[in-house]
Amino acid sequence: MTEEQNLELIERARKVFSGRIDFLLSAPSLKFLPDPAVAEIAFAGRSNVGKSSLLNAITGRKSLARTSVTPGRTQELNFFDVGGTMGELPDFRLVDMPGYGFAKAPPKVVEQWKKLVRDFLRGRVVLKRALVLIDSRHGVKPPDLEMMEMLDGAALSYRLVLTKADKVKASELDEVYAKVVAEARKHSAAYPEVMITSSETGLGIAEIRAAVLGDAEL
């Protein structure tokens, strides 16, 4: 993509995400999923990594997706319609998912979330991409690797996105970024480019918005 095309996509994404966005439904299990009618982009990552916050930052709405300081806030698959006019199908959908790797929830509940997320990611035909969020303070952890390997196996391509970049010093960020880029190279379904974001400061949000729109239009 040329610089000009990239700027054009960023501008178009700004417009799309400042238009209609509506919460559609919350699916506690696969039988409650909406009809697979339009493209979907899913937000995955460990509990508390900032999935719901990133979704809010991308859509420019403070509390569209519910966030919390307590890990385990999002417990269902939450669907958001982006674009489209009233009474018509949206242009595409964003899916906010429960986090993985949360040790404090009862094991049965953790197992249930894990199954829901896996089955969705593996079997959803309209899913174009997953975003796998990685905390800038922690880098790639074993549960992230497990998720990445699962996505490689399912051949669902994904973008690695560093979150909470505002929480670390520039030198630390450089270091974790280099490590995550090196990890991305080892995974067949991972994008080689790693994105850096902060939902707090807005860093990288315009770029990820453009990436999401580009992915949804594939």
Ligand X SMILES: Nc1nc2c(ncn2[C@@H]2O[C@H](COP(=O)(O)OP(=O)(O)OP(=O)(O)O)[C@@H](O)[C@H]2O)c(=O)[nH]1
Query: How far apart are the C-alpha atoms of 153 and 1, rounded to whole Å?
Result: 28
- Check binding of 14 to ligand X (CB under 6 A): no
Tell me the residue number closest to Mg ion, measured at CB: 74
Binding mask 25-64 for ligand X (x = CB under 6 A): --------------------x-xxxxxxx-----------
With CB under 5 to 8 Å by kind, the binding choice for 68 among Mg ion, ligand X, none is: ligand X
Pairing of strands 39-45, 127-135: parallel
CB of 90 to Mg ion, least distance (A): 21
With CB under 5 to 8 Å by kind, the binding choice for 163 among Mg ion, ligand X, none is: ligand X
| Binds ligand X (CB under 6 A): choice among 3, 4, 63, 69 | 69
Cα atoms in the Cβ-side hemisphere of radius 13 Å centred on 103 = 2
Give how many residues touch ligand X by CB under 6 A: 24
| Binds Mg ion (CB under 5 A): choice among 59, 74, 136, 199 | 74
Nearer to ligand X, 59 or 198 (CB): 198
Considering only residues 115 through 154, tell me which ones interact with ligand X, judged by CB under 6 A. none
With CB under 5 to 8 Å by kind, the binding choice for 47 among Mg ion, ligand X, none is: ligand X
- Check binding of 68 to ligand X (CB under 6 A): yes
Tell me the residue number closest to ligand X, measured at CB: 99
DSSP labels, the chain: --HHHHHHHHHHHHHHHHS-EEEEEEESSGGGPPPS-SEEEEEEEBTTSSHHHHHHHHHT-TTSS---SSTT---SEEEEEES--TTS--SEEEEE---B--TTS-HHHHHHHHHHHHHHHHH-TTEEEEEEEEETTT-S-HHHHHHHHHHHHHT--EEEEEE-GGGS-HHHHHHHHHHHHHHHHT-TTEEEEEEE--TTT-TTHHHHHHHHHHHHT-
| Binds Mg ion (CB under 5 A): choice among 48, 52, 197, 198 | 52
Contacts of 122 (CB under 8 A, 6+ apart): 150, 154, 156
Nearer to ligand X, 34 or 71 (CB): 71
Interface positions with Mg ion (CB under 5 A): 51-52, 73-74
Interface positions with ligand X (CB under 6 A): 45, 47-53, 67-69, 71-74, 98-99, 163-164, 166-167, 198-200
